[in-house]
Every structure is written in structure tokens, then in C-alpha cells.
């Protein structure tokens, strides 16, 4: 807490330092931030935006700072703030870049806001870059070694997480697969976590190697931004260690999206698959794409149940994995229901025999899915080159409602989230569709009292679950 006292001291002298985040702004457009009072860890790189197919940047003057507004104050969803703002222009198009600090010392937060009063068009670039950039931080070697932790790829960013010494050679994950919360810390307990504060599915980090800068903004596939579009990035600072920085960051994020500890605990306590023992048939299990010789899945699982009942193992639910439903030649789901060779009289008859509620697995949607209007089904789907995606909440109400009433579905397991996202051009090129898809799924689960498990989720899916209380795991 020594840092905090020093901050309050500085505040009396009028500096813009009011929390564990030590910040500095210069009217020309430079800014710095640090959890450490003595040195600024992160110094600003260029602002940039894509416009009509070209990148405009403060680096080459094709985007320039036209004004700086002295601090204003207000209250937002985090608390009472002081805002410093620059207006930048590229011809007749403007970008506003604002930095909010929060005088209440319990909010050790800085929020960076990029706004586009006239919107932007012609913005699409390489999918792994960002079409807008603010904040931008230079990857600079530091006198004392700083560490970083960068999440990347599926399993909530665990698969490709990187850690090392912060500097020009740091291997920070970026792009569609790699963008997640970034932690930077020293050996003395100073730490910060930086992440998007919204637009979770549509925002990315872009490591611009040519300028050794780390840029936060909207993902590269998006071709335009609407009038008055706004995107926020949050930095949380702590002087009591990287664990506390993650805790504090998570607490603010959960509070902003109302997925508080209480909400999480409530939903998790309602999820039988988290509170009780169950029998799983997923990857790694003995009956994953494997039955007893001469038996179909139904008879295999019924004899497994006879055995565990005999042994008095109190399984309270059964998980059925991707072996139960039909798939196309790319292993994408065509119909989320069992074929006759699996459960001869259907899932309902099987579920009555096994007498356990189900956790049921699903993966990415086939372009040939039978639910799509294109294939004579009843529902709106977006159909791309490789995959498709339901595009109305009514579909999810049908699918999850049917599962609940007919199969005893208690948990909808949405697996292969990375593949669905990265291989759907309509998702990676759209500002809102990925969020809409996951929110529709979540709303239907809420209607039917079903919980959702995300699997093979990218860091962006993990962040998106903040807006979906029924995602419990
Ligand atoms: C967009 O770029 C094209 C070619 O690069 C140019 O011909 C056109 O005038 C530009 N449009 C605007 C509105 O700047
Ligand atoms: C900016 O100018 C270009 C070319 O003159 C025009 O096409 C475009 O609509 C203008 N944009 C705005 C936001 O006024
Ligand atoms: C984006 O990055 C991923 C690795 O994270 C890579 O596999 C993919 O080819 C990249 N896409 C483009 C268009 O560069
Ligand atoms: C930063 O430090 C690394 C070694 O940790 C070194 O390889 C690299 O060249 C340095 N970069 C600059 C710009 O000095
Ligand atoms: C959170 O709940 C408050 C109070 O009910 C509400 O005003 C606010 O809009 C909610 N925020 C979100 C992101 O849903
Ligand atoms: C979708 O159906 C068409 C027509 O039956 C077929 O030619 C195609 O191979 C199917 N696609 C996949 C990915 O299985
Ligand atoms: C907008 C911007 O980047 N302004 C300045 C930040 O600081 C560097 C180096 O001191 C200047 O070159 C930039 O013009």
C-alpha cells in the first residue's frame, strides 16, 4: 500500500495520479501508465485506424492529433471518473481517444476509450491485425526485468500461453486466436492486467512487429464501424502481486457485467454436473467412440450402469459426447440428435431406461445442417464457405427446449468454439454476430433452466461469458 500513499501525496500536488495506476498524459498525444511509482512501464505507440483500405497513423502523419481537452468528470459503470481526451483526424474523419481514471482509490483502474463519431468504412485488413488502435504500447526493454503472461489459443487461452521477460522480444499472443488478458509484473508486487472491457468477440490485440507496438482495438476482418461506435480497454493495477491484479481486474469486470460472485455461485449451485458425480463418455473416457463388442451404445451404457449400480457408485448424471449425433464429411453437426444405430428408439427412450439427466455435447454446425431453411429446415442460419451458424434465438429455444423436455438435458456443452469462430468468415468479419450467437444460446438456456459449458474456448469466449450468466463452466 506504500504506492497508494505516494499517489495520494502526488494528488495533493495536482498530478493525475489517483490510484495504483500511475498515469501521465501529454497534450501532443503521448501517454504512459504503470503500477510502479518510479518508472512508467508502458509508453504510448502510434494511434491508428483503417480507412478506405489504408492505415492512417500518427506515426507518418496520415492521422494527427487535432485537439486535447482538459479533464472533464462524470460517472460511468465503473465509478466516478476524470477523462482526458484527444481528438484525431484523418481528412474529414475523426477519432476520439479518451483516458478515464477513477479517483476512488478502490478502483485501481484506467479505461481507454476509442470513439468514431462518423463511423469508419473500408477498414478490413489482415484478420489478425486491428482496424483501430488505442491504446498502443511500445514493447520497450526495461532497466529492471519485468515479466509478462499472455494467454493464447483454445482451452481459455491455456494451450498457447506465453510467459517471459517483457521487452522488444516478448512473445505476446495476438490476433484472432491469441488475444486475451495480458499481465505484466515485476518482482516487487507491482502488476497490471490489460484487456478489452467490451466487444469481447470482436476485439483483438495486434503486435505490430515493424513498430514494436502492441495495439488494442477491433479485429481486422471487420469492414466498417457504425456512427458513434465506441470501444473500451481496461488496465487494472496492483501493488500487491499479480494474483491480486487478476482478482481485482476480474472483480471489476464481473461487476460491470453483473456476473458477480453471487450470480456465479447461484448458477453453479444449480448445475448438477458441478455439484455431483457423473459418468462421462468424452475424449479420454473408455466409451469415447467405443462400445462393448457386439453391443450398440444404448446397451453398452445400460450395462455400464448395471455395473456402477452394483458397485454403489452414486452417479447423478450422464454425459454423452459427439459420438451420438450425425456429422458431415468435415465432422460438422448436421442434426443434433441420435441416429438409430446409437439409440434405436431415440434419446428419450434411452434416457428413460438409464434414468439419469444428461449433459450433451455439441460442436460446429455443418453447411448442410437439416435445421437450416436452405436444407428445408425451419430456421435462419448464416451459411459460409465451411460452416454455418444459427441466426435466431428461436432456434436455440427449440433446440434446448426440446433437449430439456425430451432428453432430461441439464447442461448444453458447446465444444469446438475455436473452430466454429476461426473457420466462419461471417463471424470474423462481423462486429456483432459472434456475440449475438452466444447471447441467443445463453438466453434459451436461461428459459429452460439449462446451464452451458464452453469447451475449446478462446480467451475471447471466456470474456464473452461475462455477459451470459448461464455459462457456468
Ligand atoms: C478510396 O480509395 C480509392 C483508391 O485507393 C480512391 O480512388 C477513392 O477516392 C478513395 N475514397 C475516399 C472516399 O477517400
Ligand atoms: C469524407 O470525404 C469523402 C470524400 O470526399 C466522402 O466520400 C465521405 O463521405 C466523407 N466522409 C464523411 C464522414 O463525411
Ligand atoms: C492469423 O493467425 C493465425 C495464428 O494465430 C494463423 O494461423 C493464421 O494463418 C493467421 N491469418 C492470417 C490471414 O494471417
Ligand atoms: C531487448 O533485450 C533483448 C534481450 O533480452 C535483446 O535481444 C534485444 O535486442 C533488446 N532490444 C532492444 C531494442 O534493445
Ligand atoms: C447490471 O444491473 C444494473 C442494475 O440492475 C443495470 O442497471 C445494468 O444495466 C446492468 N448491466 C448490464 C451490463 O447488464
Ligand atoms: C453437403 O451436401 C452436398 C449435397 O449432398 C454434398 O455434395 C457435400 O459434400 C456436403 N458437404 C459436406 C461438408 O459434407
Ligand atoms: C501522438 C504521438 O505519438 N506523439 C508523440 C509521442 O512521443 C514521440 C517521441 O517522443 C513523438 O515522436 C510523437 O510525435
52 lines ligand 1 (CB under 6 A): yes
Beta bridge partners of 208: 213
174 lines ligand 3 (CB under 6 A): no
The set of residues, in sequence order, having a beta carbon less than 8 Å from that of 417 and lying 6+ positions away, is 154, 454, 455, 456, 457, 458, 461
Choose the residue to mutate in 168, 170, 212 for probing ligand 4, maximizing ligand atoms within 8 Å of C-beta. 168
Burial pattern 325-361, b for ≥16 Cβ within 10 A else e, equals: bebeeeebbbbbbbeeebbeebbeebbeebebbbbbb
Would you say 203 and 216 are in contact if contact means Cβ atoms under 8 Å apart? Answer: yes
Q: How far is the CA of 226 from the centre of ligand 2 (A)?
A: 14
pLDDT of residue 12: 26
Residues contacting 88, CB < 8 A, separation 6+: 29, 47, 58, 63, 64, 65, 66, 94, 95, 96, 97
Q: Which ligand is nearest to the CA of 129?
A: 3
Q: Which residue's CA lies nearest to atom 4 of ligand 4? A: 169
368 lines ligand 6 (CB under 6 A): yes
Q: Whose CA is nearest to atom 5 of ligand 5?
A: 258
Atom 2 in ligand 5: residue holding the nearest Cα: 258
Q: Angle at the Cα of 385 (from 198 to 387), degrees rounded to 5?
A: 60
Model pLDDT, residue 381 = 98
| Mutational test site, ligand 2, from 52, 93, 226, max ligand atoms within 8 Å of CB | 93
Phi, psi dihedral angles at 250 (to 5 degrees)? -60, -40
Name which of 245, 150, 230, 229 is nearest 190 in CA terms.
Answer: 245
Of 50, 52, 89, best ligand 1 pocket probe by most atoms within 8 Å of the beta carbon: 52
Residue pair 212/116 in contact (Cβ under 8 Å)? The answer is: no
Residue 38, pLDDT score: 87
So what's the pLDDT on residue 105?
Answer: 72
What spacing in Å lies between the alpha carbon of 230 and ligand 5's midpoint? 18
Task: Measure CA of the first residue to CA of the last residue in the chain; give whole Å.
Answer: 34
Closest CA to 473 of 179, 56, 156: 156
Cα(147) to ligand 4 centroid in Å equals 14
Note the ligand closest to the C-alpha atom of 51.
1
**Residue 329, ligand 6, Cβ within 6 A:** yes
Can you tell me which atom of ligand 6 is nearest the CA of 332?
A: 13
The torsion angle over the Cα atoms of residues 36, 41, 46 and 47, rounded to 10 degrees, is -40
> Mutate which of 365, 366, 368, 424 to test ligand 6's pocket (most atoms within 8 Å of Cβ)?
368
Q: Which atom of ligand 6 lies nearest, measured to the CA of 329?
A: 14
Q: Is the CB of 270 under 6 A from ligand 2?
A: no
Instruction: In whole angstroms, give the CA distance from residue 208 to residue 231.
Output: 20
User: Residue 29: CB within 6 Å of ligand 7?
Assistant: yes
Pocket test for ligand 7, best of 24, 26, 28, 86 (most atoms within 8 A of CB): 28
Ligand 5: distance of its center to the CA of 258 in Å? Answer: 6
Per-residue pLDDT of the chain (473 residues; tens, 9 = 90+): 222 222 322 222 233 444 589 999 888 999 999 999 889 999 999 999 999 999 999 999 999 999 999 899 999 999 999 999 999 999 999 999 999 999 887 779 999 999 999 999 999 999 999 999 999 999 999 988 999 999 999 999 999 999 999 999 999 999 999 999 999 999 999 999 999 999 999 999 999 999 999 999 999 999 999 999 999 999 999 999 999 999 999 999 999 999 999 999 999 999 999 999 999 999 999 999 999 999 999 999 999 999 999 999 999 999 999 999 999 999 999 999 999 999 999 999 999 999 999 999 999 999 999 999 999 999 999 999 999 999 999 999 999 999 999 999 999 999 999 999 999 999 999 999 999 999 999 999 999 999 999 999 999 999 999 999 999 99
Q: Which residues of 452-470 are buried (b: 16+ CB within 10 A; e: fewer)?
A: bbbbbbbbbbbbbbbbbbb
Residues 339, 331 contacting (CB under 8 angstroms): no
Q: Would the CB of 331 count as within 6 Å of ligand 6?
A: no
Handedness of CA 79, 459, 33, 96 (dihedral sign): negative
pLDDT at 19: 52
| Ligand 7 atom closest to the CA of 59, numbered from 1 | 3
Q: 275 CB less than 6 Å from ligand 1?
A: no
Helix (H) / strand (E) containing 51: strand 48-51
- DSSP 3-state of 23: strand
The conformation of residue 404, written as its DSSP 8-state character, comes to: I
The upper half-sphere exposure of residue 406, i.e. CA atoms within 13 Å in the direction of its Cβ, equals 15
CA-wise closest residue to 245 among 188, 176, 202: 188
The pLDDT tens digits of the residues spanning 372-386 come to: 999 999 999 999 999
Nearest one of 34, 194, 184 to 112, comparing CA atoms: 194
Angle between helices 297-310 and 346-354 (to 10 degrees): 10
Which among 460, 463, 379 has a CA at the least distance from the CA of 422? Answer: 460
**117 CB contacts (<8 Å, ≥6 apart)?**
94, 96, 227, 228
CB 112 within 8 A of CB 98: yes
Does ligand 1 have an atom closer than 6 angstroms to the CB of 53? yes
Ligand 2 centroid from CA 118, angstroms: 10
Alpha carbon 203 to its chain centroid, in Å, reads: 9
Q: 46 CB less than 6 Å from ligand 7?
A: yes
Amino acid at each position: 500500500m506504500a504506492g497508494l500513499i505516494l499517489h495520494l501525496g502526488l494528488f495533493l500536488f495536482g498530478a493525475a495520479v489517483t490510484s495504483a495506476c500511475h498515469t501521465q498524459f501529454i497534450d501532443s498525444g503521448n501517454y504512459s501508465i504503470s503500477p510502479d511509482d518510479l518508472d512508467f512501464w508502458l509508453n504510448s505507440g502510434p494511434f491508428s485506424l483503417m480507412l478506405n483500405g489504408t492505415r492512417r497513423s500518427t506515426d507518418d502523419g496520415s492521422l494527427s492529433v487535432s485537439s486535447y481537452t482538459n479533464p472533464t468528470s462524470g460517472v460511468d459503470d465503473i465509478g466516478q471518473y476524470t477523462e482526458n481526451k484527444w481528438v484525431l483526424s484523418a481528412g474529414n474523419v475523426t477519432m476520439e481517444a479518451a483516458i478515464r481514471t477513477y479517483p476512488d482509490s478502490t478502483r485501481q483502474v484506467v479505461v481507454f476509450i476509442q470513439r468514431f463519431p462518423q463511423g469508419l468504412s473500408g477498414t478490413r485488413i489482415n484478420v489478425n491485425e486491428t482496424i483501430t488502435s488505442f491504446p498502443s504500447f511500445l514493447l520497450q526493454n526495461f532497466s529492471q526485468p519485468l515479466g509478462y503472461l499472455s494467454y493464447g489459443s483454445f482451452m481459455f487461452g491455456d494451450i498457447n500461453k506465453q510467459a517471459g521477460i517483457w521487452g522488444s522480444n516478448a512473445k505476446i499472443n495476438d490476433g484472432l486466436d491469441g488475444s486475451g488478458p495480458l499481465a505484466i509484473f515485476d518482482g516487487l508486487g507491482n502488476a497490471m492486467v490489460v484487456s478489452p472491457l467490451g466487444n469481447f468477440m470482436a476485439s483483438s490485440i495486434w503486435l505490430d512487429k515493424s513498430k514494436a507496438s502492441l495495439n488494442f482495438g477491433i479485429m481486422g476482418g471487420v469492414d466498417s464501424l457504425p456512427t458513434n461506435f465506441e470501444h473500451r480497454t481496461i488496465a487494472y493495477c496492483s501493488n500487491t502481486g499479480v494474483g491480486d491484479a487478476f482478482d481485482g481486474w476480474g472483480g471489476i469486470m464481473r461487476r460491470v457485467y453483473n456476473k458477480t460472485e453471487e450470480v456465479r455461485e447461484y448458477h453453479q449451485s444449480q448445475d448438477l454436473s458441478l455439484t455431483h458425480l457423473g459418468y462421462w463418455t468424452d475424449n479420454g473416457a473408455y466409451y469415447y467412440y467405443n462400445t462393448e463388442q457386439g453391443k450398440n451404445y444404448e446397451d453398452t451404457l445400460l450395462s455400464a450402469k448395471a455395473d456402477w449400480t452394483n458397485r454403489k457408485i452414486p452417479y447423478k448424471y450422464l454425459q454423452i459426447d459427439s459420438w451420438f449425433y450425425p456429422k458431415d464429411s468435415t465432422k460438422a453437426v448436421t442434426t443434433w440428435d441420435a441416429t438409430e444405430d446409437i439409440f434405436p428408439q431415440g434419446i428419450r427412450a434411452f434416457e428413460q431406461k438409464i434414468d439419469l439427466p444428461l449433459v450433451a455435447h455439441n460442436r460446429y454446425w455443418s453447411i448442410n445442417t437439416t435445421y437450416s431453411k436452405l436444407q428445408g429446415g425451419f430456421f435462419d442460419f448464416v451459411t459460409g464457405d465451411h460452416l454455418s451458424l444459427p441466426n435466431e434465438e428461436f432456434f436455440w429455444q427449440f433446440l434446448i427446449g426440446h433437449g430439456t423436455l425430451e432428453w432430461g438435458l441439464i447442461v448444453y456443452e458447446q465444444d469446438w468454439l475455436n473452430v466454429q469462430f476461426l473457420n466462419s468468415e461471417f463471424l470474423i468479419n462481423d462486429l456483432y454476430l459472434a456475440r449475438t450467437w452466444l447471447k441467443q444460446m445463453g438466453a434459451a438456456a436461461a428459459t429452460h433452466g439449462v446451464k452451458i459449458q464452453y469447451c475449446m474456448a478462446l480467451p475471447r469466449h471466456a470474456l464473452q461469458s461475462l455477459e451470459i450468466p448461464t455459462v457456468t463452466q
